[in-house]
Amino acid sequence: MSKLNCIIITPNKKVRNVECDYIGATGVEGDFGILPLHAPFISELAPGVLFLRNQGKKDDPIGIVSGFLHVFEDKVTVIADKVYEKSDIKKSADEYKNQYEKKKQALEKLEKSDSQYANVKAETDKLLTLLKLAAYK
């Protein structure tokens, strides 16, 4: 069976360049999966966990705040603004959930035209990503 070649990059570094059997991700229109021989595809990524799976091995989860995923001929390229590894998790999922809920409430009180909106939205998306990564089993 063929494998997927997955490359994950940020503006600062190459995060991964690995082969895997399956990739799961969170797009702006919902969760999706990629298997070898997938049709060409592009998706904008939403805050969540992108995971790389190889048969018989533990999943390799990576927190993605935002970015794009491109599939072409068993090559998957992920370009992300910022990524988080499991080693970046310093709190429990419950702690991240509490922080996220507070930040989300603050965001809901702001108008999109407010000068603070973009910063609060970025913090909210980061906390959501960390929460999902901390909760990933």
Please check the confidence at residue 1 and state whether its pLDDT lies above 80.
Answer: no
Q: How many domains does the chain have?
A: 2
131 and 72 inside one domain: no
Dump pLDDT digits (tens) for 50-103: 999 998 788 999 999 999 999 999 999 999 999 999 999 999 999 999 999 999
Q: Note whether 76 and 17 are same-domain residues.
A: yes
Do 69 and 114 belong together in one domain?
no
Contact at 8 Å (CB) between 29 and 43? yes
Tokens 């935002």 locate to 66
68 in the same domain as 25: yes
Are 80 and 96 members of one domain?
no
Which domain covers residue 28, as residue numbers? Answer: 4-84
Side-chain-facing half-sphere of 110: CA atoms under 13 Å: 16
Q: How high does pLDDT run on average in the chain?
A: 95
Are 68 and 108 in the same domain?
Answer: no
Could you give the CA distance from residue 14 to residue 88 in angstroms, rounded to a whole number?
17
- CA pseudo-torsion sign 10, 11, 14, 15: negative
Are 16 and 80 members of one domain?
Answer: yes
Q: Are residues 54 and 113 in the same domain?
A: no
- 38 and 99 in a common domain: no
Cβ–Cβ < 8 Å for 21, 3? yes
pLDDT of res. 56 = 79
70: CATH = 2.60.15.10
User: Can you point out the beta strands (E) in the chain?
Assistant: 4-9, 14-20, 22-27, 30-34, 41-45, 48-53, 60-64, 67-72, 75-80, 83-84
Query: Do 15 and 63 share a domain, yes or no?
Result: yes
